[in-house]
Amino acid sequence: ETGVTQSPTHLIKTRGQQVTLRCSSQSGHNTVSWYQQALGQGPQFIFQYYREEENGRGNFPPRFSGLQFPNYSSELNVNALELDDSALYLCASSRQGSNQPQHFGDGTRLSIL
Shortest distance in whole angstroms from residue 28 CB to another protein: 15
d(CA 44, CA 90) in angstroms, rounded, equals: 9
d(CA 91, CA 108) in angstroms, rounded, equals: 9
Cβ-based nearer residue to another protein, 7 or 14 = 7
Residues that bind another protein (CB under 8 A): 4, 33, 35, 40-45, 48, 55-56, 58, 90, 92, 98-99, 101-107
Cβ-based nearer residue to another protein, 24 or 33 = 33
CB proximity list for 50: less than 8 A, separation 6 or greater: 30, 31, 32, 68, 96
Shortest distance in whole angstroms from residue 81 CB to another protein: 22
